[in-house]
A and B are shown apart, each in its own frame.
Chain A
Amino acid sequence: MAGEISFNCLQCGSPIAIHAPGQSLSYACRACGALVEENHQGLRILKKASQSMLWKPLLELGSKNKLRGETWQVIGFMVRSDGSGDYVWSEYLLFNPFQGFRWLTESQGHWNFLHMTRHRPKSALGTWVSWGGRRYRLFLKGKARVKFVLGEFYWRVKIGDEVTVKDYIAPPDILSSEEDGTEEMWSAGTYVEPEDIEKAFRPLHPMPARVGVAPNQPSRYLEKRNAYLKHWGFFAAILIALHLLMNSFKQETTVLDTNILRDGKVPVQLLRSESFTLDKSGTNVKIQVYAPLQNSWLNLRFTMVQEDGQAAAPIEFGRDLYRYESGSEGSESHTLDEVFLKHLDQGRYRLDINSEMGWVDPSILSKQDFPLRVTVKKDVKVISPLVLCLILVSLFPLWILLGDWRFESKRWADSDVNG
């Protein structure tokens, strides 16, 4: 390339290009892997014999590529591992003479684009830090050891160099600190979709497949989640408003409120209510019954009869009331009950009630007459259609929330900090 400076490898004689003259301090020969570095006088000296060429960079060293609006030249390739040496990842040093250096890291098919920063984060509560107006949560603490290098670096790189790494996340962003015992360096980065890397860098080999969820991989549920929550809130608000509006048109009125005398001495008695009128079709009614019982039970079988000749079948329903004040089972009471009926035709109705009674103490003293109170209200305000609609409207958002939750658990499963 025109204007490119190079020198010959001190070990094998192959030309080594210098892409960042005046900034690079170490060069790893692409032919033999020898490490050459600048010494204090700016002369180049051989530091180390060749490394075994076990790793090949995916991105071509020396190539210039446009990512996020700037051109970046790939100048260095580094393979690092965790403390155990089992977990290995790749890092590419990118250079632009105006913007400086950037890092592209690839780990299990997940890519991050990072830049060093001198803006220190502020530590917040516990495992959180705040940086650039966002809160980052500690994800991982561990070691990073240099295993292999190719190309050029702006510091004196050594195989085996080890630093303590801490990764904080605020997906899709990551904040990472490296500490070598004297200095703590911070880098800030963002998750990059593999397709973007592929498009920008035209890699030399097939891209590695993504494995699992990366610490700062953006959740595809998250955006949806927020959008759905917003929509859900909107629909729920409309439903509630509709419900309130419809109910406000309903004027709850009592069409029957009567006390029917029940003979306290007979076990079975047929009772009959006065008539009441429903002046509209499709009306709902709530029928309430109350009996002031004493140590007795009352079984009521209602037949709601339409009196003005329409051929509609009578509506039947039953209710049990009781009150036991003392006895082997203790005291129990259920003297008030209600029935809700919908979509009734317009007309005159009455209630025929077949009542059957029983006593704990069948002595004559306990058998007293009492009033059976029956009230009928029409156009009752109801909440159940609203509840049903809300449940229906919530099903899909709930599914998204569940997906988000599962994604986040996968993400945090790899964390050694928050477990």
Chain B
Amino acid sequence: MELPCLSCGAALRVQSPATLFIVCSYCQTTMIRDQDWSVFGKMATLPPEITPLQIGTRGVYKGETFELIGRQRLQWRDGYWNEWCALFPKGRIGWLAEAQGFYMLSFPVEPAPDVPNLATIKAGALISVPGHEMFLVDDIKTATCVATEGEMPFPAPARQERLSVDASNAKGEFLSVEKIGLTQHVYLGRYLEFNDFKFTQLRQLDGW
């Protein structure tokens, strides 16, 4: 479907029926959907960065083609990473995290498995998920959203804070627990190499 920007009138594509939050790519106006769309505010601009991914990039995972429809740039004490919202066939949403050349693709786990209390959890703690090898917590960080672009299935304004726990296991699987406000989600996926995704529609990078 198409949504005319409530501020500048530009026609914005809305690809996912789950989209609740959208950033106008022309005027940075943010809109939120309740019963209907309304203006939420203005999005900060994304700082310069070198990433081959962009909204519209397509990739393949387990034979299914997905398209990146939105992303959040997150910042923590010791760096940055991107969370790309990936739209899969039948409206399924996955998340492609991109950090220092690591690529992690994960999906929300419903119902969420039991995880230790995030307030007291430490790096090195173990998390067991039935049917998977034991996960070891790599790090726990408080992150802030620097900027959002495109579509998001939840409100994702700039400066929004989240608690993020990353864990991995010997099978190359990836587990993350994200807590934004009072809602907590568990995501399960894999560490993958750039070439595994067979990306197309990548961003042109100067000099590369």
Asked if A370 CB lies within 8 Å of chain B CBs, one says no
B106 to chain A, nearest CB (A): 13
- Min CB–CB distance A347 → chain B (angstroms): 79
Q: Give the complex CA separation of A155 and B79 in angstroms.
A: 7
Contacts of B80 in A (CB 8 A): 22-23
A154 CB-CB contact with B under 8 Å:
yes
Within 8 A of B (CB), among A1-40: 1-5, 19-23, 25, 40
Cβ A22 vs Cβ B207 within 8 A? no
Enumerate chain B residues within 8 angstroms of A219, measured Cβ to Cβ: none
In the complex, the answer to whether B172 meets A2 with C-beta atoms within 8 Å is: no
Q: Is B116 interfacial (CB-CB < 8 Å)?
A: no
User: What separation, in Å, do the CA atoms of A25 and B75 have in the docked complex?
Assistant: 12
Contact, CB under 8 Å: A183 / B123: yes
B50, B102, B193: the one contacting A21 at CB < 8 Å is B50
A152 CB to closest chain B CB, in angstroms? 12
Central interface residue in A5, A118, A119, by most chain B CB within 10 Å:
A118
Residues of A within 8 A of B100 (CB): 23, 100-101, 116, 154
B78 within 8 A of A: yes
Complex-state Cα separation, A371 to B3, whole angstroms:
122
Residues on A lying within 8 angstroms of B by beta carbon are 1-5, 19-23, 25, 40, 42, 64, 71, 96-101, 116, 118-122, 154-156, 182-184
Q: How far apart are the CA atoms of A118 and B174 in the complex, in Å?
A: 9
The dominant DSSP class at the B interface is loop
A71 to B208 Cα, complex, angstroms: 9
Contacts of B2 in A (CB 8 A): none
Q: Which of A1, A23, A101 contacts B79 (CB 8 A)?
A: A23
Q: Is B191 engaged at the interface, CB distance under 8 Å to the other chain?
A: yes
Task: Assess whether A183 is in contact with B139, with CB atoms less than 8 Å apart.
Answer: yes
- Residue in B51, B75, B123, B170 whose CB lies within 8 Å of A119: B170
The CA-CA distance from A119 to B48 in the complex, in Å, is 30
8 nearest interchain CB pairs? A100-B101, A22-B49, A3-B206, A119-B172, A118-B168, A97-B50, A118-B191, A21-B48
Whether B79 and A154, one on each chain, are in contact in the complex, defined by CB atoms closer than 8 angstroms, is yes
Q: Which residues of A contact B61 (CB under 8 A)?
A: none
Interface string of B59-89 (1 = CB under 8 A from A): 0000000000000000101111000000000
B136 contacts the other chain (CB 8 A) = yes
Question: How many Å lie between the Cα of A182 and that of B206 in the bound state?
Answer: 37
Closest-by-CB residue of A relative to B76 is A40
Q: State whether A22 and B50 are in contact (beta carbons under 8 Å apart), knowing that A3-B206, A154-B100, A183-B138 are contacts in the complex.
A: yes
Chain A residues near B172 (CB-CB < 8 A):
118-119
Residue B182 at the chain A interface, CB threshold 8 Å: no
Find A22's partner among B51, B174, B208 (CB 8 Å cutoff): B51
Mind listing 5 A-B residue pairs with CB under 8 Å? A22-B47, A22-B80, A42-B75, A118-B138, A156-B78
Supplied contacts A4-B207, A100-B102, A120-B136, 11 more A-B pairs, CB within 8 Å = A2-B207, A21-B48, A22-B49, A40-B75, A98-B208, A116-B100, A118-B174, A119-B168, A121-B170, A154-B79, A155-B78
Partner of A2, one of B49, B79, B174, B206: B206
In the docked arrangement, what's the CA distance between A10 and B56, Å? Answer: 39
B9 at the interface (CB under 8 A from A): no
A120 touches B170 (CB 8 A): yes
Note all chain A residues with C-beta closer than 8 A to B102.
100, 116, 118
| Cα distance, A371 to B107, chains bound together (Å) | 97
**Is B194 an interface residue when CB atoms closer than 8 A count as contact?**
yes
Q: Does B52 contact A (CB under 8 A)?
A: yes
Q: Which residues of A contact B207 (CB under 8 A)?
A: 1-4, 64
Is B205 interfacial (CB 8 A cutoff)?
A: yes
Distance in Å from the Cβ of B143 to the closest Cβ of chain A? Answer: 11
Question: Is the beta-carbon distance between A97 and B48 smaller than 8 angstroms?
Answer: no
**B123 to nearest A CB, angstroms?**
5
Is A98 touching B79 in the complex (CB atoms < 8 A)?
A: no
Q: Please, which residue of chain B has its CB at the minimum distance from the CB of A41?
A: B75
> With an 8 A cutoff between CB atoms, is B164 at the interface?
no
Contact of A182 among B77, B123, B170 (CB under 8 A): B123
Interface hits, B32-69 → A, CB 8 Å: 47-52
Q: Are B169 and A97 in contact (CB under 8 A)?
A: no
Q: Are B79 and A97 in contact (CB under 8 A)?
A: no
Bound-state Cα–Cα, A101 to B99, Å: 10
Question: Quick one: which of B170-208 are within 8 Å of A by CB?
Answer: 170-172, 174, 191, 193-195, 205-208
B194 touches A99 (CB 8 A): yes
Taking CB atoms, residues of chain B closer than 8 Å to A2 are 206-207
Residue numbers in A under 8 Å from B205 (CB-CB): 97
Residues of A within 8 A of B48 (CB): 5, 21-22
User: Which of A3, A96, A99, A120 is close to B168, meaning CB atoms less than 8 Å apart?
Assistant: A120
Minimal beta-carbon separation of A159 from chain B (angstroms): 17
Q: Are A119 and B77 in contact (CB under 8 A)?
A: no
Residues of B within 8 A of A100 (CB): 100-102, 194
* Assembled-state Cα–Cα distance A4/B48 (Å): 11
Neighbouring A residues of B136 by C-beta, 8 Å? 120
Contact at A21–B49, with CB atoms within 8 Å? Answer: yes
The residue on A at minimum CB distance from B202 is A98
Identity of the chain B residue whose Cβ is nearest the Cβ of A101 in the assembled complex: B101
Using CB atoms, name the residue of chain A closest to B123: A182
A97 / chain B contacts, CB cutoff of 8 Å: 50-52, 205, 208
